[in-house]
Amino acid sequence: MTRVLWNARFMYHARGIRAAARYVFLILLLNGCATAIDTHKPAPPGWPVLTVRDNVVTGYEVLRRCYKYLPAHVKLLGGIPMACAEVNFAARTCDIWRARDASPEIMDHERMHCAGKDHPGETWAQDALSSYRSAL
């Protein structure tokens, strides 16, 4: 009887673990979709040509500068940034802050942000440019 009860508890627990694993996999899959750049959509009208500055800094400095740009679901999963791009329209610069070991794909991603490209479904570039113009 004890063995049957233990097996029933184990099966219930194993089903819960499998369900949790499926949810984590789904979240990671959706995170991959959220971090791609929409290469088909053009930069917002009037997006200026910016001087791109590549700043190689410590992992702590990347975390300090870039963590605020991570989506909430990535933060909840313990994600950390490897790089980010910060645009300064007044100085016509785009600073890429990256860790020493950031991959070339991450660098390409950040350069596309400097060129005014957004993630699918986002309007960050247009919003940033509109805010800058309205403040003039």
Chain segment 61-90, per-residue pLDDT in tens: 999 999 999 989 889 999 999 999 999 999
- Please classify residue 24 by burial: count the beta carbons closer than 10 Å to its beta carbon, then call 0-12 exposed, 13-18 middle and 19+ buried: exposed
pLDDT in tens, the chain (136 residues): 555 555 555 555 556 556 554 544 444 434 443 468 877 789 999 999 999 999 999 999 999 999 999 989 889 999 999 999 999 999 999 999 999 999 999 999 999 999 999 988 889 899 999 999 999 8
> DSSP states of 70-100 as a string?
S-HHHHHTT---SEEEEEETTTTEEEEEEET
Q: β-pairing, 83-88 with 93-99?
A: antiparallel
